[in-house]
């Protein structure tokens, strides 16, 4: 075992893994994390804590991860390259490990301009760091854990035992390069991969095939990203405005039909769309599960925890394995 995390055990035993995402609040209220944790406990093998996602200032990933530990859930601490240089990153990896965190997802992070793209003011004028990129971060963490060396070469006596995760956007542009970028992540030391949301299953499958030809599928565990769609508006937004995500017209039409079926009743419209979204997510899980090399799913339902529990149950992925 590299880190001895629950996620690592699940994957090692050959179970179909489930990770889910928890977004910390924009204030100091740890209770928000605690209450989400209590709702979701037992529905995934590990829970990603986002690191100031979309560059919006939130309760820190390390702190929220520790709250999960206190609640008996296993965190995947996300670590972006946007806000820290290699000194701060390594310091936080050591600190996170000392606090009992056993999984880390290494990512570049959204550009700070994204922080002001919605209703929020954000911090679009912030200075970013990007001292290292996400692949270099994977390599740094692997060197710390497996060789007991800091990036600069100084020795580490007590090594950080962290399972190393990386993100992959299989359906993003330039599409033909994406499997090769995955290869770099795997070569750098990624133990598991969580993908950007998959809706175009055929395209994802063809990218997985290339990944297989590159010999990557037995070197890393790929967890396909599933975002539970909540409304027609959200699906359309993701299709046009979220890089690396494209939705087949047929799926959009299904949601559109569900919305129309409610007539003018707004409450019913919401119920119908949410129900359709959950159905779509469950079907996507079944479809990606059939693809060679998919070892689990990474489930996201933004500010909608009930969808996670419902989808996991309906996909017959509940209860989760225990050790």
Q: Burial of 260 by CB count in 10 Å (0-12 exposed, 13-18 middle, 19+ buried)?
A: exposed
Beta strands in 42-191 (DSSP E): 46-49, 75-80, 103-107, 163-168
Three-state DSSP class for residue 47:
strand
Question: Among residues 184 and 279, whose Cβ is nearest to other proteins?
Answer: 184
Minimum distance of other proteins from residue 128's CB (angstroms): 7
Minimum distance of other proteins from residue 72's CB (angstroms): 32
Closest CA to 5 of 88, 73, 95, 58: 73
Question: Among residues 148 and 321, whose Cβ is nearest to other proteins?
Answer: 148
Q: How far is C-alpha 277 from the geometric centre of its chain's CA atoms?
A: 19
Minimum distance of other proteins from residue 87's CB (angstroms): 12
Question: Among residues 16 and 23, whose Cβ is nearest to other proteins?
Answer: 23
Minimum distance of other proteins from residue 196's CB (angstroms): 5
Question: Among residues 136 and 309, whose Cβ is nearest to other proteins?
Answer: 136
Residues that bind other proteins (CB under 8 A): 81-82, 86, 108, 110-111, 113-114, 128, 130-136, 139-140, 151, 167-169, 172-174, 177, 180-181, 184, 187-188, 196, 243-244, 246
Q: Which residues contact 322 (CB under 8 A, 6 or more apart)?
A: none
Question: Among residues 170 and 282, whose Cβ is nearest to other proteins?
Answer: 170
Minimum distance of other proteins from residue 316's CB (angstroms): 30
Question: Among residues 96 and 109, whose Cβ is nearest to other proteins?
Answer: 109
Minimum distance of other proteins from residue 29's CB (angstroms): 29
Closest CA to 115 of 127, 101, 105, 98: 127
| 29-37: long-range pairs with CB below 8 Å, 24+ | 29/59, 30/59, 30/63, 30/64, 30/67, 32/59, 33/59, 33/64, 33/67, 33/68, 34/67, 34/70, 34/71, 36/305, 37/67, 37/68, 37/71, 37/73
């Amino acid at each position: 075992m590299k880190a001895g995390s629950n996620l690592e055990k699940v994957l090692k035993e050959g179970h179909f893994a489930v990770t889910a995402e928890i977004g910390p609040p924009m204030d100091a209220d740890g209770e928000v994390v605690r209450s989400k944790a209590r709702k979701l406990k037992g529905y995934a093998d590990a829970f990603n804590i986002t690191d100031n996602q979309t560059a919006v200032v939130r309760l820190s990933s390390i702190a929220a991860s520790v709250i999960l530990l206190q609640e008996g859930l296993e965190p995947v601490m996300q670590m972006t390259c946007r806000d820290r240089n290699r000194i701060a990153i390594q310091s936080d990896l050591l600190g996170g490990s000392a606090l009992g965190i056993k999984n880390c997802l290494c990512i570049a992070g959204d550009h700070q301009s994204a922080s002001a793209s919605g209703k929020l003011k954000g911090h679009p004028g912030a200075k970013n760091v990007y001292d290292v990129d996400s692949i270099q971060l994977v390599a740094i963490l692997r060197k710390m854990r497996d060789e007991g060396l800091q990036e600069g070469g100084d020795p580490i006596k007590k090594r950080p035992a962290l399972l190393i995760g990386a993100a992959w956007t299989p359906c993003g542009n330039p599409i033909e390069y994406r499997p090769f970028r995955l290869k770099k992540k795997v070569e750098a030391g990624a133990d598991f991969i969580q993908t950007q949301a998959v809706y175009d299953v055929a395209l994802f499958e063809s990218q997985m095939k290339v990944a297989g030809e590159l010999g990557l599928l037995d070197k890393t565990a790929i967890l396909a990203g599933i975002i539970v769609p909540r409304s027609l508006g959200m699906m359309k937004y993701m299709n046009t405005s979220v890089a690396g995500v494209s939705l087949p017209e047929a799926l959009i039409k299904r949601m559109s039909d569900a919305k129309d079926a409610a007539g003018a009743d707004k409450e019913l419209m919401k119920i119908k769309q949410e129900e359709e979204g959950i159905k779509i997510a469950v079907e996507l899980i079944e479809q990606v599960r059939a693809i060679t090399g998919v070892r689990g799913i990474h489930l996201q339902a933004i500010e909608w925890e009930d969808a996670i529990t419902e989808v996991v149950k309906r996909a017959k992925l509940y209860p989760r394995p225990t050790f």
